[in-house]
Amino acid sequence: MMLIPRLAWRNLWRNRRRSLITISSVFFAVILAIFFYSIEKGTYEGMIDNMVRYSTGYIQIQDVLFEEEPSMDHSMLFDGRIRGILDKYSDDISLYAPRIQHFALAATDRTTRGVSVMGVDPEKESALNDISSRLTGGRFVSAGGNDIVLAEGLAGILNVSIGDSIVLLGQGFQGATAAGIYRIGGIVGLNIPEMNNGTIYMSLEAAQWFYAADNRLTSLIIMPGDPDKTDRLAESIRSEIDKEWYRVLTWEHMLQDLIAMMQFDMAGTFVMIGILYMIIAFGLLGTTITMLLERKKEFAVLMALGMKRRLLAMVCFAESVFISLIGAAAGIAAAIPVIAYFYHNPIQLSGGLAETMLDYGFEPILPLSADPIVFISQARIVVVLALFAGLFPVYSIFHLNVVSEKQK
């Protein structure tokens, strides 16, 4: 059996030029496929990460009616039973962040705008998304403090700055009127344009007072220690919690529309990658057919001398596999440093393309994903193509007429 790969390797380089051309086609197709897939995957990973950290979290506990009708009347009571469940699964939970997230009207002497008020625990919120590092001025909210922090875009719309005051009006728990005048203590820049143009942060205690909702939350954000175990952790919490009053949701449920859009968009990328691999497949098949036509007499002589068809077919099959694997390995090796560089230094977009991405809620960059599946998936595809291309010489050798070839 060791003789088969040795013979295949030697035969591969008998026509060096043809082999190098075929290997090069595989090489460049693999690099392009990895690059396209990495950009697509990296873009959506970045968007999902932003949405998870700044909005939904990986897991949320809510009142059972809040998703259908998001009002303060359907806020949840954050009591000792919920804390006990969190303590029970503390080894699997990286952190949890209590939030009140509801709507209000923000008004100045000249402008009024609907906003999303985020009541947060400053320490846990900073651990969740490092929000304090995005301050462009002032300070983030403090526990129990009354100063608020405006998103940068909203501050521009309202034409206010640090030290100014705005009026907030809304509806609190069980129909209570929510009203107050708040001083702006800081301004923060957010990655998600929709949030950047309409978000106000205040301390959790101040939000509970504003909405007359003591000890209540609209959601409890839970971040698992291992995001891959999100579903398992959610199911464990679901089995412990009172299902009559609470719901446990994962990010995949809360971001269904986003995921559907991603899948639809990625289908276009897979079509492009599929075209690249069709070119590879025809290139491999063309090389295989040419090799067979050139070596039919050689095969006939070898079989006449006693070489079994099975062994000869295995040698030809190994040649096809070698060509594919060499091209794929070279393509992956060349792609790794390129992907690694752009993973740490995302491509910054500008001009009209950047504005378009902002309009659709994307950060104007092209981040690349360094997930190993980006490279492994391409290797798998090339191996499958090599196996299919290698079947043709196997079929041809088992149907080769030795007598007629010798007479030629």
Query: In the prediction, which pLDDT does 403 show?
Result: 57
Angle in degrees, CA 354, 357, 358, rounded to 5: 85
Q: Long-range contacts made by residues 81-85, C-beta under 8 angstroms, separation at least 24?
A: 81/242, 82/220, 82/241, 82/246, 85/237, 85/240, 85/241
Rounded to the nearest 5°, which phi and psi values hold at 102?
-150, 170
Query: In the prediction, which pLDDT does 267 show?
Result: 73
Rounded to the nearest 5°, which phi and psi values hold at 60?
-130, 140
Structure tokens at 300: 């006939």
User: Alpha-carbon distance 370 to 259, whole Å?
Assistant: 20
Q: Residue ranges of the chain with pLDDT lower than 50?
A: 407
Structure tokens at 190: 């957010």
Angle in degrees, CA 60, 43, 149, rounded to 5: 55
Find the radius of gyration of the CA atoms of the chain.
31
Cβ burial of 346 (10 Å; 0-12, 13-18, 19+) is: middle
Place of tokens 């080769």: 400
Query: In the prediction, which pLDDT does 183 show?
Result: 95
Segment 288-339, tens digit of pLDDT: 777 777 777 777 777 777 778 888 888 878 887 888 888 888 888 999 998 8
Query: What residues have CB less than 8 Å from 292, skipping those under 6 apart?
Result: 316, 392, 393, 396
Query: In the prediction, which pLDDT does 359 show?
Result: 58
Query: In the prediction, which pLDDT does 218 show?
Result: 92
Going by their DSSP bridges, the two strands 112-120 and 199-203 should be labelled as: parallel
Q: Is the pTM above the cut of 0.85?
A: no
